[in-house]
Structure formats: C-alpha cells, structure tokens
Structure 1
Amino acid sequence: MTDISLLPEVEAFLARRHGQYIDGQLAAAPDAAAIDVINPSSRKVIASVHQATPAQIEQAIASAHEAFTGVWQRTSPARRGELMNRLADLMHARREELAQIESLSSGKLIGLSRAFEIDYSIAFLRYYAGWATKIHGRTMSLSLPSANGEQYTGFTLRQPVGVVAGIVPWNFSIMIAVWKFGSALACGCTAVIKPSEFTPLTMLRVAELAVEAGIPPGVLNVVNGNGATVGPAMIAHPKVAKITFTGSVPTGTGVGVAAMQAGLKHVTLELGGKNPAGFLRDFPVERTVDGIIEAAYLHQGEVCASAERFYVHRSRIDDVLESLHRRLATLKIGSALDENAQFGPLANAAHFAKVMAFFDKARAQDGEIVYGGTAAPGDGFFVQPTAILARSQADAIMTEETFGPVASFLAYDDEEEMLHYMNDTRLGLTASVWTNDLSKALRLVPRVEAGTVWVNMHNYIDPAMPFGGVKSSGIGREFGEAFIEHFTELKSVIIRY
C-alpha cells in the first residue's frame, strides 16, 4: 500500500486551528468542545474542529441576512454568475489540495475525489452560475371587468427567499454543499452551510476560496458542530427562510417537522433510498455484472443514489452471482490515498459498525453470503465488498438502507413480479432498468416509483437533470431549472391603469 505524498499546503491546512467561517473570516471557538477528524484509512486523528457556539451560529446567520439585504441584493445577476465562476476557477486551481483533504476526511479514493467530488462540483457550480441571469417571471393578460374604462395588466416576479441553511452529509462534503449554496447564490439568496461533523474541513477551505474569488463576506458562511445542536438552532432561527437537507429519512423527517413548526419555512429534503436495479432476462450475464459493480460499489456504496436491491431473472441469477464473486475477489482494497486502490474504507466508525451489523442480520435471516460479509484487513474502517442472496423480499437486507457496499439479490420469474419487487418499498429515490429491448424499457420506466430512473446505467447525475425522491425519499428537486422554484418566492403584481 503506497499513499501519495501530501501537498505542503494540505499539511499546513490540517495543522491550523479550525472552527467556523463567518462574515469572510475564520472564527475558532477555543472554549467550545473540539471534534476530532479521523482518517478512515488509518483511524488516526488528522485535525480537530471547534464546534460553533450559540453566539457564532447567531453571528453567521446575522451575517448572511445582512449580506442578503445589502451587498448581495445590490449585486447584479451577471456579476453573481461571474463571481461563482471565479470560485469554480479557484477550485480547479486547487483541485489536488481539495481532493487530498476530502480523501483524508471521508475515505473517498483519491481518483474519485479528483474526478467526481471536485470536477463534478466545479461543473455544478458553473451550471448554477449560468442560471443567475435567467431567473424570470411572466406577463399575462387579465380578465377583470372594467367599470369605468380602466384596464389591468399583470406579471410575476421570482424573488430570492432569503437566508438558506444547508445541512450537508459526510459522503460528498463539497459536491452536495455546492448543490445547496450554488442554488442559493444563483437565485440571490445567501447561505449558511453546516457540514457533517465527520467531514468538516473541505467546506472551510471552499469558503476561503469564495472570498478570494470576490464573493462578498457574509454571502457564504460555514458553521461546524454536532447535528443535534447546530442543525436545530439554524432551523429555528427567524432569519433563516429555507432549509435544504441531504441525509437519512428519520433525520430528514425531523428537519421537515421542525421547519414547519418554525414558521412554515421552505424545505428541500433529499433523503435515503433502498434503490432497486432490475435486470431483464435478455441482458447478458457479464454486462449484468458490469452494471452491478457500477450501481452498488461506487465510493463503497456510500452514495444516496446507489442501488442496494438487485432483481435478476431466475434463469440467470446463478451465473450472475458466480461471475460477480470472481469480480469482487479481484478488487484491490486500500487506503484512500493509494492511487492503485479500487475500493476504500467506510467513512467513519459509526457507519462501519452499522454495516457490520447488517452482515449479522443477513446471517440471522439465513441470507446466503455470496461474497464478503466481513471486515477487511487494514487499520482503517475496511469491509469487504459484499453480495448477499436474500431469502425473501421481506428480509432486512432487502428493506433497510445499508448505505454501504452491500448488494442484496432476489430472483424473479416474470417482469410484473420484478416491477412489484422494485416498487415494494416506502422509498423512491432512484432505480434502474437494464435491457436490450428499448420498447420494454420505455413501457417500464413510467411504472417505476422513483424520482430518477436510469436505463442501462446507474449513479450518473447531470446538473441539467432535476434530482430528488418520491414517497419517503424526499420533497423538492435539486439541479435543472427545477431548483429555482425552491429557492425563490413567486410574487404576483397587478396594475390598474
């Protein structure tokens, strides 16, 4: 196992006293409790971050509100887009630095941090920047009756909602933050971002780059700390107009309830999924295995959109699982900073324990461990990529989200049964259908209950395509033009003349 050498600027950054980024400045809180940031590849402490005090949370929100009603409101849409593109330029220039900090914090393989976490974040930020000049209302003819010859005309305005509180998970600490503050800034809002306590570092560096890019102080703030304290304080604050949250269903439900109780605040909730992938009988075995690897094991399965439930025709399932066993056995497990590794550690100790518990559940319910199902050698939070043949659709491994590298399988006999299995869940974030028959695919897609349905692919997102869940997987949409509706208020104006 050979790790890449850390850049000197990364080592210098890790050695700092970390805390918050408020009103364009770093702000530590020496008297507050500090959170240790653990390298998932080694379980060693790489830095510590002071939690935000109540006063700092208040200061961050006040700074965002002042910027919203002041400098950012006076900044033209074209200028907002220009500044966001400057930030994208700086992120590109600091690509390796950001990627190394991300891999050290989250266990994401360095190649994935570079090409996916950083490059995708830049692409999304540029996409949002392009929308800054394209937010518009409509004019309309009115039908009010005229009593004395007066006439009426009407139009609508899209206006920014105000201060946006973004609560970000640990799996994509830069990219998901960009989805939230990029949407906010493009629409004329300001943002206070709360990263996960497991991955608090990278957004501090991005916030510094934002000020370097010329984005005014207060427009983008970062507060760190435990989700049980910082998150509720942000949601309840009267100057926060919107909450955008990505995370688990139970936590997201709590966020939504709290937002309603705090004054019917706007919410966007992108929550969990027990995402299915259905392989039709005509799809070749080796291409099926390629699809399973793509859908299940990216970033050790720690992707909201990843598939966890796989349905394969009974005539093919033995061959598919045999081939998958061979393929998984060849994956090189290693440190996130090892450029030759193909499979890295889980992100933190709590998640490692959760995934290990799922292995025990599967065995208790007589699931057949096709491959894996154990911890992997190494000092970090390593587990084997795992495939399990379930006993039935009711097994815990088929119903409970693992958010890890655990693919569960069930055979089906006909396409209606496959579709029933795919939809047999309270969740509906993503799904995929795999077939060489385009006609069948187009007939199945409308019947799959998910916010995103892929055909012959999985886990691919694009900033132009709206993203979000149905059923218990969320409220609202990110990306595409759809995000504008969730970060602006629609105002109607009627004029009599």
Structure 2
Amino acid sequence: MQPRSYDFPTGLFINGEWRCEGRDTQPVVNPANEQVIGHVPLATQADLDDALAAAAAGFATWSRMSAAARAAIIEKAAALMHERAELIGTLMSFEHGKLLADGLQEAHSSADIVKWFAEEGRRAYGRIVPGPLANSRQLVMKVPVGPVAAFTPWNFPVRIPARTVAAALAAGCSVVLKAAEETPACTAAMVRCFQDAGLPPGVLNLVFGVPAQVSEHLITSDVIKAVAFTGSIPVGKHLAGLAAANGLKKLVMELGGHAPVIVCDDADVERVATMLAKAKFRQAGQACISPTRFYIQEAVYEAFVERFVQVASGLRLGSAFEVDVDASPMANARRLAAADAFVKDALEHGARLALGGHRLERPGYFYAPTVLVDVPETARIMNEEPFGPVVPFSSFKTVEEVLARANRLNYGLAAYAFTGSDRRALELSNGLEAGMIGINSMLVSGPEVPFGGVKESGIGSENGVEGLQAYLVTKFVQQAVS
C-alpha cells in the first residue's frame, strides 16, 4: 500500500484562529523510519496567556448555551471525525507509528466517544428535594466547573484528547488542551472538526510546548478550575500538587498502570495464549491498560508459555503502510532504551530469555517481541510499568497467592483474569484491586463505561456518566416564595 503524504498543517489553535509562524519549533519524527516529517510550533508565554483569556471568554459563552445547542455542535464534530477518519488515522500512523488499521479504528472510536458525550450532556440531571418549609423548594443543580486545562499523551493521540474534550464540552466547560508534541497533526485534525462544526471561539484551544513550562503556567492561573491529565504517576503527583496549591482545582487523572494477567489452569490455554500474544504486541505494548505481568498457574505454565512464544515469534513487524504487518514500532528512541534496560535487569535477576530481547536491524524504532520466563518479583519489570513489547512470565499455585502478588503494587488501573470456573471468576473479580477488570475478556473500555484507576493509578474516571460528572460541580439552591 502506498502511503498518503504527511501533509496537514499543525499549529496552535487559540480563540478560533490557527497560529504557526514566528515560534520555536520541535521536529516530528516518523517512528517507522526515524525521518523528520514536520515541525510543531511551541507556544510562547503570550500564546498561553491568550489561550487562558480565550477560555475564560469562551466559558462565559458556552456555559450559557442550552445543553441541546451544545449537543448539536458536539454531535456535528463527531460526524466530521467519522468523515475524516482516513485522514486522521493516516496522520496518526505517520506520527505515532501504529498500524493504519489501528489508526483508523482509533479515529472512528474517538468519534463514537464524542457522539456519546454529545448525547450525555443533555442528561446532566439535578433533582428537587422536598424541604422543611412551606412555600419553598430545594434544588440540587449540576453546573459546569469552569475552564479546564487538559494534558494528553502521544500513545492514543486522538482518543484520549477526544474523551477529555468531549466530556468537558458536554458539561459546559471550555478547554485549553496541551497535546503531545510527538503527534500534533492528528490531534490538530480532531480539533479542526470541532472548529468546522461551529464551536464558538475560545471554547476549545490547542497548544504545544515544553511540558513543564506549559503545565505550570496553565495550572497556576486563576482562570483554570479543573485539571485533566493522562500520563505517569510522578508527573501526575506533581501536577496534583500544583492544582492543590493554586485554588484546590478539581482533578481528573488517569495515571500509570501495570496490569496483571492471571491465567488459571482451567482456562483454554490455546485460545487465551493466542489472544494475549496478539493483543500485547499490537501497538508495541504502549498502552496504559496493556497486559504487563503474566501469572500462569503451574499446571499449564509450560504449555501456555510455549504457545505464547509460538504466536509472538510469528508476528511480522513493519511500518503502517507495509502489507501483512502485525506489529508496529515503538514511538521514540527513549522507549527502545527503556525496553533494553528492563530486559537486562530481568536477566540479572535470574529470568530466562525465551524470545527477542533486542532492537531490529532496520531503520525505525522496532523492538523484537520479547518474552521473559521465570521472572522473580524483585525484577524491575515486575514493579515498574514497562510500556513496551516485553512480557514477563511467572507461575503461581493458588488463587489466594496470585491475588496477593497481583495486588502488591500501588498500581490499580486494569487487570485481567482467565478461568473456566464461575466460582473462580467471582473470586478474581472481587479480589483484584483495579479500576477496570476483564474476566475472560480484554475489552475494558468504551464510551458508555467508566475508564479510570484506583490507588496511585488515578483520580476519578473518564467515559461513561462518570466522565461527564468529572466536569460538573453541585450547586444547592433553597428557594422561598417572598
């Protein structure tokens, strides 16, 4: 397949206008060949101040519009995202490196999320509470919190901004979105859909820049009333501290994950191993809910690992635009170095290398699908999120034992378990400490269900009715007849 040209303007979008020229820039690199394919402008302090002023004015306009009027614009943006999915997905594949099929799927699923929130925004219900006084009524109202500063990563550069922006807009908030500099064009293409749908100026603003400088400038502003962040736990804690120290701003945070996978001896080994191997390496393991710690019950341990390695060894790595490709490159050189470090440490702790463990000898950030077996709990990869195509295996004896091991970390985003027993399924779903749990399934996200973690993996939830509530505050009104 011949790729379409990477030809789409990137820029800052502030108060309804695009800004590109006269600013420092950062190169955008195609992970599949390491070539510079574009440059993204970085916001100046004046740009950030303008974005904040625009968000304040935009909120005054947007929050006073009816929920139905807001929904009509958001729904039109969703329709435009579906229409432009090929463009958005192609840009994503150039910038992120993910397979074109994955880019297209993300573009369409992002549009579905936007459409869902367009509808849900009309259901931000309050209630009337009977009161103690005659000739009065008590109203509990849900109102938008105010302008939101949103910070989104490169691994899902359209879906994560879409769910954050759509929820905030549906609630009646304005947004200053600081998106990832590695993947600017696909995010800008999404923002343009909102612009072309008729969103008033200032309601949605897009900036890029030095992350620490942008986050501190936005979060410490009195304009911002809520902060949404998707990223690592250390950065999330830092931003939460800024938000607490500067107005105790409302937080929505989806932080790191280290998802345990438990496979019991009554599971279908052939089917589950095949499914997990394909799922793990599809986007080089660069997903916060990716399965990352594999615990296999002793009776089926050897058979499961053998089948998993067999499937993984047959995966074909390549660029988004090559034919018959199963897995994509990592997003940047940093992730290659991280993968090597995890493998080296695991081997030093006594693990055995069953597959991979090296970078491919070709242009691009390609790392071979890697399987480590008999990995002790002391290895880094069993304690830190790997965020790459490296899989550690360990065996267990009892469900009670494996639950203790799975729950021992401060992560609590996603977890997965596979069993043929309803009793075990209940025990595992009750016992796992995670915000999202898949039992005999890898599907733990969708527009209508909450997406978020417990423990240090997050604050609040995105998607679902919980995602809308994240950008609303409660107002109580006691109204008496004079």
User: C-alpha separation between the residues in 1 aligned to 2:413 and 2:192?
Assistant: 33
The unaligned stretches of length 5 or more in structure 2 are: none
Distance 1:391 1:203, change over 3 A: closer
User: C-alpha separation between the residues in 1 aligned to 2:443 and 2:255?
Assistant: 15
- 14, 29, 37: which is aligned to 1:46? 37
Query: Does structure 2 retain, via aligned residues, the 8 Å contact 1:305–1:459?
Result: no
Equivalences for 1:151-170 in 2 at 5 Å?
A: 151-170=135-154
User: C-alpha separation between the residues in 1 aligned to 2:47 and 2:82?
Assistant: 30
- 70, 91, 101: which is aligned to 1:101? 91
User: C-alpha separation between the residues in 2 aligned to 1:355 and 1:301?
Assistant: 11
Query: Does structure 1 retain, via aligned residues, the 8 Å contact 2:30–2:37?
Result: yes
Query: Does structure 2 retain, via aligned residues, the 8 Å contact 1:336–1:345?
Result: no
Asked if 1:256 is matched to 2:259, the reply is no
Equivalences for 1:435-450 in 2 at 5 Å?
A: 435-450=419-434
Asked if 1:229 is matched to 2:213, the reply is yes
Secondary structure (helix, strand or coil) at the match of 2:283 reads helix
Secondary structure (helix, strand or coil) at the match of 1:46 reads strand
- 84, 87, 90: which is aligned to 2:80? 90
Q: Which residue of 2 aligns with 1:328?
A: 312
- 45, 55, 58: which is aligned to 1:64? 55
User: C-alpha separation between the residues in 2 aligned to 1:304 and 1:187?
Assistant: 26
User: C-alpha separation between the residues in 2 aligned to 1:36 and 1:25?
Assistant: 22
Asked if 1:274 is matched to 2:247, the reply is no
Between stretches 74-83 and 449-458, larger displacement belongs to 74-83
Asked if 1:5 is matched to 2:14, the reply is no
- How far does the alpha carbon of each residue in 1:378-433 deviate from its partner, in whole angstroms, 9 at most, with x for none? 20000011111143222211111111111111100111111111111111000011
Q: Which residue of 2 aligns with 1:147?
A: none
User: C-alpha separation between the residues in 1 aligned to 2:321 and 2:56?
Assistant: 39
Secondary structure (helix, strand or coil) at the match of 1:358 reads helix
Q: Which residue of 2 aligns with 1:129?
A: 118
User: C-alpha separation between the residues in 2 aligned to 1:339 and 1:118?
Assistant: 21
Q: TM-score, normalised by structure 1?
A: 0.94
Asked if 1:470 is matched to 2:462, the reply is no
Q: Which residue of 2 aligns with 1:27?
A: 19
User: C-alpha separation between the residues in 2 aligned to 1:285 and 1:445?
Assistant: 20
Post-superposition offset of 1:228: 1.5
- How far does the alpha carbon of each residue in 1:460-494 deviate from its partner, in whole angstroms, 9 at most, with x for none? 41111111101110100111111222101100001
User: C-alpha separation between the residues in 1 aligned to 2:99 and 2:52?
Assistant: 34
Q: How many residues in Structure 1 have an aligned counterpart in Structure 2?
A: 481
- 279, 284, 293: which is aligned to 1:309? 293
Post-superposition offset of 1:336: 2.1
Amino acid aligned to 2:253? L
- Identity, % of aligned pairs? 32
Q: Which residue of 2 aligns with 1:387?
A: 371
- How far does the alpha carbon of each residue in 1:418-464 deviate from its partner, in whole angstroms, 9 at most, with x for none? 11111111110000110111222023211110001111112441111
Asked if 1:80 is matched to 2:70, the reply is yes
Post-superposition offset of 1:294: 4.8
Query: Does structure 1 retain, via aligned residues, the 8 Å contact 2:16–2:195?
Result: yes
Between stretches 172-181 and 338-347, larger displacement belongs to 338-347
Post-superposition offset of 1:45: 0.4
Post-superposition offset of 1:73: 2.6
Post-superposition offset of 1:339: 4.2
Post-superposition offset of 1:324: 1.4
User: C-alpha separation between the residues in 1 aligned to 2:79 and 2:476?
Assistant: 37
Amino acid aligned to 1:98? I
User: C-alpha separation between the residues in 2 aligned to 1:227 and 1:463?
Assistant: 28
Post-superposition offset of 1:342: 0.5
Amino acid aligned to 2:96? S
User: C-alpha separation between the residues in 1 aligned to 2:80 and 2:451?
Assistant: 26
Q: TM-score, normalised by structure 2?
A: 0.97
Query: Does structure 2 retain, via aligned residues, the 8 Å contact 1:385–1:405?
Result: yes
User: C-alpha separation between the residues in 1 aligned to 2:206 and 2:186?
Assistant: 10
Between stretches 51-60 and 289-298, larger displacement belongs to 289-298
- 111, 120, 125: which is aligned to 2:109? 120
- How far does the alpha carbon of each residue in 1:332-368 deviate from its partner, in whole angstroms, 9 at most, with x for none? 1101222421111001122222122212212222211
Post-superposition offset of 1:325: 1.5
Equivalences for 1:423-434 in 2 at 5 Å?
A: 423-434=407-418
User: C-alpha separation between the residues in 2 aligned to 1:482 and 1:51?
Assistant: 33
Q: Which residue of 2 aligns with 1:371?
A: 355
